[in-house]
Structure 1
Amino acid sequence: MKNKFLLRLSLTKGIGVVGKQRIYQFAKRNQRWQFESLELRLLSHSTKPNNWNDWSEDRLQEIINTHDFITIEDADYPEALRYVSTPPLVLFYKGNLNLLKREMLAVVGAREATKYGYRVLQALMPDLTKRGFVIVSGLAKGIDSFAHQFAISNQGKTIGIVGTGLDICYPKTSGNLQIEMSQHHLVLSEYPNGTMPAKFHFPMRNRIIAGLSSGVLVIEAKKRSGSLITAQQALDYGKEVFVVPGSILDGRSSGCHQLIQDGANCVEKTQDIFDSYDLLKKFH
């Protein structure tokens, strides 16, 4: 009953993530998992109508039959993600869920990555995978896709977080990569099959990338970019942020330089990342 309630709540439109979090906390406190639509509006402080009542038993059962998913109440749910201010109530997945139990490092950066970004990843990835990091990214064009591909070609493991249903490959250029990862690695989404990309899905996806990982490595990011949002979220969650400096001539790394000025770890070699982790372990 608990998991069905969480699935239904996650699928309900007309209630934002903060409202859903309020409802979940109330339900958990009171160990009560049945509600009426109007109660949910009051609990979520929402004036908008919601489609809670559209989710009949049959429709819910259809989702259960056609998707693999875990809820925030499951033991398999990644512990680190519980500490995000608005953790996803449900994660749909394809692939190997055991990867969530390993140490994860997010790698994010420019969609329009340069040869320099490509070569940086090529240089850093062998040591990162050897160290046992599972590489987490967003399956986007550029640095994200390179990170997944280099992790795989270096016999490492990788996790992709997408802002669509798991049956949709976006961008299309990542299609083969996404299929390979959903068979041999792991792909996660908080959206059910059939969900098309929408602008607001991507900052939401970024909070999962930052929340899952113990650190975030940023390669080539402009001042206003999704990568910077992910890095900022990681800082908010108390995670380590590692940044590779870039050229001062083209503005492609201006966001990276800003992060370094703000106190992020400057990375010239993998040892810079490992030193930071070793230091953290020493004090915990």
Structure 2
Amino acid sequence: MNPEELFYLLALQKVESVGDITAKKLLAYFGSAKEIFQSKPSKLESIEGVGSILIRNLKDQSIFKKAEKELDFIQSNAIEVLFYQDEKYPERLKHCIDAPVVLFASGNFNFKNRKIISIVGTRQATPYGAESCRKLISDLTPLNPIIVSGFAYGVDIIAHQAAMEHNLQTIGVVAHGLNQIYPKAHKKYVSSMQENGGFMTDFWSSSNPDRENFIRRNRIVAGISEATIVIESAEKGGSLITANMANDYNRDVFAFPGRATDKYSQGCNNLIKWQKAQLLTSAADLVYMLNWDLETPKASVQKRLFVELDSEEQTVYNYLQAKEKELMDVIALECNFPIHKISSLLLNMELKGVVRPLPGKLFEII
């Protein structure tokens, strides 16, 4: 985007009573932010929902000073600006009615043809929650997903760390401008995240991490991904707000269950109970329910010989080794497993790179 258009786009963001929805409406009508400001009042009045107050607000000269200051910050700090009509703007987010007109980004992003999941949870993660998060991301590594979270304490930072440990792209969606880091204790993770992923926000450099900003931030976390996963949550919390937003955007929501007596499992259990989230216990569950295609891993046959299979997986492997390929229903019958069990076993074995699906619900040894 050229600097002049960006300047007017920034100015549009500071016009009182113009939010993301109204801004998109105006941009669709006029074609550019500059044209909005240069248009005659009579033309503006012809647009449904645009009245005299909004027209007067467009003439407020103070917004141009603010836009100039923010433009200087963007250019001085090499901030990448993603306009909602740009190819680089996250595709799924484009389809959310209240998605930001612009996103400010810092790092190294590549959203094209990538699986994206958002992971959220309590800031007081328990050992169970931390282990569930790490194992999920570790098991998903062969699929190379992008892991999105909010860079907060607890589940958020655990998810980012686990992604970095497995060389996965990870994005922290923050509730403030990119001129600061919150919480400050997480500053040590910044450079590592920016090497493969980074940070994203729709807040200006003048914005601080105020309480209300986190709720607004959550719509990006919910809208940017294919699915939102809640690891742990108390009965009330920001993670549940994100889950509800994801449901509103018609995204898949998953939650890890916990004991009824555990404080930080109550929120997840309630999401499952009220059918606002699907129960999740493993990466295989997620792959199955999202209908993700698994590509054959580029590992050598020798490498696959050392893959560890549990006794049930070994039973299925031995059967397929004798049959070469077989229908899922027949495998279940011959190996004496219920169909839901055989689905889970085969998905786990796909993730381990020992079997692959064929058209018509057939499976074969790799």
- Note whether the superposition's TM-score is higher than 0.5: yes
Kept after mapping to 2: 8 A contact 1:3/1:71: no
Give the drift of 1:109: 0.3
Aligned twin of 2:286: 273
CA distance in 1 between partners of 2:60 and 2:156 (Å)? 35
Aligned twin of 1:210: 222
CA distance in 1 between partners of 2:246 and 2:288 (Å)? 19
Give the drift of 1:13: 6.0
Greater mean alpha carbon deviation, residues 46-55 or residues 262-271: 46-55
CA distance in 2 between partners of 1:238 and 1:45 (Å)? 36
Kept after mapping to 1: 8 A contact 2:118/2:222: yes
Alignment pair present for 1:196 and 2:204 = no
Percent identity of paired positions between Structure 1 and Structure 2: 30
Kept after mapping to 2: 8 A contact 1:81/1:208: yes
Kept after mapping to 1: 8 A contact 2:37/2:58: no
Which of 50, 65, 71 is 1:43 aligned to?
Answer: 50
Q: Which SS does the other structure have where 2:120 is aligned?
A: strand
Q: Which SS does the other structure have where 2:211 is aligned?
A: coil
Q: Which amino acid counterpart does residue 61 of structure 2 have in structure 1? A: N
Kept after mapping to 2: 8 A contact 1:223/1:254: yes
1:128-167 equivalent positions in 2, closer than 5 A: 128-167=140-179
CA distance in 2 between partners of 1:51 and 1:92 (Å)? 26
The 1:46/1:207 distance shift into structure 2, 3 A limit, reads farther
Tell which has more relative contact order, 1 or 2 (C-alpha 8 A, sep 6+): 1
Give the drift of 1:239: 0.8
Q: Which amino acid counterpart does residue 24 of structure 1 have in structure 2? A: K
Aligned twin of 2:309: none
Q: Which SS does the other structure have where 2:253 is aligned?
A: strand
Kept after mapping to 2: 8 A contact 1:113/1:143: yes
1:248-263 equivalent positions in 2, closer than 5 A: 248-263=260-275
Aligned twin of 2:69: 59
Q: Which amino acid counterpart does residue 5 of structure 1 have in structure 2? A: Y
CA distance in 2 between partners of 1:37 and 1:60 (Å)? 24
Alignment pair present for 1:4 and 2:7 = yes
Aligned twin of 1:116: 128
Alignment pair present for 1:70 and 2:82 = yes
Give the drift of 1:64: 4.2
CA distance in 2 between partners of 1:130 and 1:45 (Å)? 56
Q: Which amino acid counterpart does residue 53 of structure 1 have in structure 2? A: Q
Aligned twin of 1:34: 36
Which of 186, 193, 196 is 2:198 aligned to?
Answer: 186
CA distance in 1 between partners of 2:70 and 2:173 (Å)? 23
Q: Which amino acid counterpart does residue 23 of structure 1 have in structure 2? A: A
The structure with the largest alpha-carbon Rg is: 2
Unpaired stretches in structure 1, ≥5 consecutive residues: none
Q: Which SS does the other structure have where 1:128 is aligned?
A: helix
Give the drift of 1:58: 4.4
Q: Which amino acid counterpart does residue 290 of structure 2 have in structure 1? A: Y
Unpaired stretches in structure 2, ≥5 consecutive residues: 295-358, 360-366
Kept after mapping to 2: 8 A contact 1:139/1:178: no
CA distance in 2 between partners of 1:84 and 1:180 (Å)? 30
Kept after mapping to 1: 8 A contact 2:26/2:36: no
CA distance in 2 between partners of 1:163 and 1:74 (Å)? 22
The 1:51/1:102 distance shift into structure 2, 3 A limit, reads farther
Q: TM-score, normalised by structure 1?
A: 0.87
The 1:156/1:50 distance shift into structure 2, 3 A limit, reads same
Kept after mapping to 2: 8 A contact 1:129/1:157: no
